[in-house]
Amino acid sequence: MDSSCLSCAMPLGGNENKKSEGKYCTYCSDEQGKLLPREQVQQGIAQWLKSWAPKQDSVDFVERADHYMKAMPAWRD
């Protein structure tokens, strides 16, 4: 059974995510597998969300990313 990144929910262990055998994907962790700073991960998630809705200029994707991250185990308050 594959696991998911505790920071963004990306599946771990796929071809594009091969290095990650820990709790976090390559987008959310550094070379040692440690979680990147919250703001850096939030910007990445915001860009990912924006890629799904490129014509929604009035949407605050950073705020949406913040809400998304609150549901992730690594970022729960």
Task: Kindly report the pTM of this predicted structure.
Answer: 0.82
Q: Is the pLDDT higher at 18 or at 39?
A: 39
Q: What is the pLDDT of residues 5-25, one digit of tens each?
A: 999 999 987 656 555 468 999
Asked if residues 42 and 65 have their Cβ atoms less than 8 Å apart, the reply is: yes
Q: Is the pLDDT higher at 57 or at 50?
A: 50
Work out the number of other CB atoms within 10 angstroms of the CB of residue 40: 13
> Is pLDDT at 1 greater than 50 in this prediction?
no
With a CB cutoff of 8 Å and minimum separation 6, the contacts of 18 are: none
Helix (H, G, I), strand (E, B) or coil at 35: strand
Query: What confidence category does residue 67 fall into, taking pLDDT thresholds of 50, 70 and 90?
Result: very high
